[in-house]
A and B are shown apart, each in its own frame.
Chain A
Amino acid sequence: MQPETPQYAIETRDLSIFYGAFEAVKGVNLNIEKGKITAIIGPSGCGKSTLLRAFNRMNDFVPTSRVKGEILLHGVNLYGKEIDPVEVRRRLGMVFQKPNPFPKSIYENIAWGARINGFRGNMDELVEESLRGAALWDEVKDKLKQSAYALSGGQQQRLCIARTIAIQPEIILMDEPASALDPISTLRIEELMQELKKNYTILIVTHNMQQAARVSDYTAMMMLYEDTRSGTVIEFDKTDVIFTRPTDKRTEDYVTGRFG
């Protein structure tokens, strides 16, 4: 194995996230490698989603939320004073836990995001390319004008992935993208992630440890501090290291199912 020079897509520096006075996430340092899939795992309520939503500044909508530390994209702090959260979200796409397509046609679901982001090219081509990219084209090519709500849950989630790649983000954030889906749809999403990582850096929060082990290259293990109830990353390494020879006893207990 030749030594690789790590190229980071996004980095956090002593990142803490507060809701009012409560420190939900504390002191997180992560270097997310470009073109890889990084999974964030950990027990319920340890701040995985909060951490993920900090990357594209979705926590801004929680009135009392506040961030300490930095998230660096190309060395630029996303929480700097001069940063426009709208621009941040155009570069960090997000796929949610429950499929949430717009109440518009399949075509419009993809075209809308592209249009508000100033896309001026051939929209039909973009829609087709995005749907192919999300492995959905063959299933929907004859019903692009139909409502997205006519699709199955798994198809809706792939549509949400399609509309995200249509705006060509650098990083795709996925918040338990398969937890509301059946095993077959889940498998398709996981296969799709392997395709997507050729072009995108992916950060995925998951409850499902098998999923993390199957799809990710790196894994961040989160846990609560017993005393403050703040979540933090206790271990971050290559996925096979986390799952086979973790250094932290708590990680070992969790991934082997002896947690709690």
Chain B
Amino acid sequence: MQNTREQPLSPPSGFRPGDLRRKMRLSEDIIEATLFFVGFLTIFITISIVIVLGDQALLFFADPAVTVWEFISSTHWQPAIGEFGIWALVSSTLTTSAIAILVAVPLGLSAALYLSEYASPKARAILKPVLEVLAGIPTVVYGYFALLFVTPILQTIFGENIGVYNMLSAGLVMGIMILPLISSMSEDALSAVPRSLREAAYAMGATPFEASVQVVLPAALSGIGAAVIVGISRAVGETMIVAVASGATSKFTFNPLEAAETMTAHIARISGGDLSYNSVDYNSLFAIALMLFLVTLVLNLISQWVVSKFREQYE
């Protein structure tokens, strides 16, 4: 660029055949390589976790005291007497997670719809920070909230039928914990729906409820589905709340009024004890973790399938 301010802007004079040749752009190459590395790092980490879990779980299943069949078919988990039936732990994980999702999805979606379709800027300015505070509370606090606040309330309702430790209280509070996650992810999805679609709905004489539930919501369903999937994963993997409020005895039951230990709570409790390395009990933790991984995976696949059935694409 030989242009100085005295001359007006003009095309460069002269043209050499090499001018259009490919140039080395080292910074581009470095950036691409870095992004590639970071992108694949997550995959490497996931694979490493599966390998570690699988490796240790193999040791567990290789133990003469254990059979794979017993693991996946029995409903008794009592390592002390050599009973390793995973369903005793899976049942409570599924029960508490189901309660949490039943609480969090309707409430979170309603909050998201309100925030994105109805709320005045003023109401938004109050409600959003409150929801974010809810998201920032440590789960151990939620756990004691469940045990010391929610359970006594439930006891006045159910009386003798509900114990101090129960899955209902843990599930309800877990629902409150994942509510902000579901509402903020859903709100993002709803806000991303083009304004032109809302205008189309309103111009057809839709009420705000018809427009938001029948046009905007279906258009945002893939994003909302992602929110539910993340919510399920959080619920299944949540440890502190269930460890504090849901009890420490493994039991095969789907009755939310009973106490039962979840997979995560069991892992947390046992690994905190003085297990000897390479004992059956120790190795069983990895088998549970592998099962946890599988449960999350299966639930994710189911949710993705459900979303793909119902979603409406607007591009």
Contact = CB atoms under 8 A, between A and B. Distances in A.
Interface in A50-104: 56, 58, 61, 63, 86-87, 89-90, 93-94, 96, 98, 100-104
Contacts of B197: 100, 102-103
A100 B199 CA distance: 9
B204 A116 contact: yes
Contacts, number: 71
Q: Which of A101, A103, A104, A117 has the most CB of B within 10 A?
A: A103
Contacts of B312: 102-104
Which of A56, A98, A100 counts the most B-chain CB atoms under 10 A from its CB?
A100
Interface string B189-214: 00000101111111111110010001
Contacts of B206: 86, 113, 116
Interface of B: 120-121, 194, 196-207, 210, 214-215, 218-219, 312-315
A121 B120 CA distance: 38
A142 B198 CA distance: 28
Interface in A153-175: 160, 163-164, 167
A30 B120 CA distance: 34
A89 B314 contact: no
A242 B215 CA distance: 42
A31 interface: no
Interface in A136-164: 147, 149, 160, 163-164
A116 B210 contact: yes
Contacts of B214: 112, 116
A101 B314 CA distance: 9
B56 to A, nearest CB: 47
A144 B198 CA distance: 23
Contacts of A104: 218, 312
Given A100-B197, A100-B199, A147-B313, 8 more contacts: A61-B202, A94-B199, A96-B196, A96-B200, A102-B200, A112-B215, A117-B205, A167-B205
Contacts of A63: 120-121
With a 10 A CB-CB cut-off, give which of B198, B200, B312, B313 has the most chain A CB atoms.
B200
A147 B218 CA distance: 14
Given A63-B121, A147-B313, A58 B196 contact: no
A58 B203 CA distance: 7
13 contacts: A56-B203, A89-B204, A90-B205, A96-B196, A96-B200, A100-B197, A101-B200, A102-B201, A113-B204, A113-B206, A116-B204, A116-B205, A116-B210
Please indicate which of the listed interface residues A56, A89, A98, A116 has the most CB atoms of chain B within 10 Å of its own CB.
Answer: A116
Nearest to B313: A103
A86 B219 contact: no
Contact of A93 (B203, B210, B219): B203
A58 to B, nearest CB: 7
Nearest to B196: A100
Nearest first, the 4 A-B pairs at minimum CB distance are: A90-B205, A103-B312, A113-B204, A94-B203
B199 A86 contact: no
A248 B174 CA distance: 71
Interface in A100-133: 100-104, 112-113, 116-117
Contact of A103 (B121, B202, B210, B314): B314
Nearest to B219: A103
A164 B200 CA distance: 10
A112 B204 contact: yes
Given A96-B199, A96-B200, A149-B315, A102 B215 contact: yes
A113 B205 contact: yes
A165 to B, nearest CB: 11
Given A93-B203, A116-B210, A149-B314, A98 B218 contact: no
Contacts of A93: 203-204
Nearest to B197: A100
Contacts of B203: 56, 58, 89, 93-94, 96, 164
Contacts of B204: 89-90, 93, 112-113, 116-117, 163-164, 167
A205 to B, nearest CB: 14
A87 B205 contact: yes
A86 B206 CA distance: 6
Interface centre among A86, A96, A101 (most CB of B within 10 A): A86
A89 B315 contact: no
A52 to B, nearest CB: 11
Nearest to B210: A116
B15 to A, nearest CB: 38
A103 B196 CA distance: 12
A98 B237 CA distance: 45
* Most A Cβ at <10 Å: residue of B197, B207, B314, B315: B314
B114 to A, nearest CB: 16
B205 A98 contact: no
Nearest to A114: B204
B148 to A, nearest CB: 44
B205 A58 contact: no
